[in-house]
Amino acid sequence: MGSTVKKKEEEGLWETIKVIVQALLIAVVVRTVLFQPFNIPSGSLIPTLLIGDYLFVSKYAYGYSKHSIPFSPPVFSGRIFGSEPKRGDVVVFKLPKDNSTDYIKRVIGLPGDRIQMINGILNINGKPVQRELVGQYDVKDDWGRATLKVPMYKETLPEGTQHYIIESKGDRGFADNTDVFVVQPGHYFMMGDNRDNSQDSRFENEVGQVPAENLVGRAEIIFFSIDEGASLLRFWEWPQRIRWDRMFERIK
């Protein structure tokens, strides 16, 4: 009798282990091939994405590289089933400087493009990009204390894609006037929508141009959003701290 009970317990334990392993394998496959969750830790893409946004990134959008796999094992180089990102896509990529840190920015420059900032105006291939002042946007100052009202613009890229940007220091920010950047073959020029508070491809020693191999995926949809500084563990505060109006919002 005792041996029968013990055998059933062992079988039950083995079944539990198999279920856990199968669930982990499914999770790894989904994360590698289909979607990866990502949370926004900084304000570089304000007003498009806010600190506290949680979103899904489509891994299949641009094909797959070693960075599509957790921990980026060097199993192959380049991309397979690759496709080109479009100008205006919001993309998660591995920081070229270390090939491990996840960054999220907007694709502004494609291979061969000439990118320059002149007095806060984005110029692509020698032509200023159209922008239209649409109002003001509230941001915190550099110390996170006072609320400032800064200009918000609707920017229209050459192919017609529109998105919103803010200029927290007007048109005289640190990177509002630059040299001309020529985008290398197989690389992309990334920028944040919070133009004066974004470490992006304008800073060549910190980010620079992003190789196609470093693309992780395209940001698709916000599935959860909570106020900056709120704790996910304090679930009883969720009704007041969740940004309900951002739930399931498509990212443009």
Catalytic pick among 65, 68, 105, 225: 105
Cα 247 from Cα 30, distance rounded (Å): 22
Tokens 């980026």 sit on residue: 72
How far is residue 212 from each of residues 25, 35, 74, 204, 227, measured CA to CA in Å? Answer: 27, 19, 15, 17, 33
Q: DSSP 3-state assignment of 247?
A: coil
Is 44 noted as a catalytic residue in this protein? Answer: yes
How far is residue 112 from each of residues 181, 188, 199, 207, 233, measured CA to CA in Å? Answer: 10, 9, 22, 18, 47
Q: Give me Rg for the CA atoms of the chain.
A: 22
> What would the DSSP string read from start to end of 184-212?
PTTEEEEE-SBTTS--STTSTTTT--EEG
Is 42 noted as a catalytic residue in this protein? Answer: no
Active site residues: 44, 105
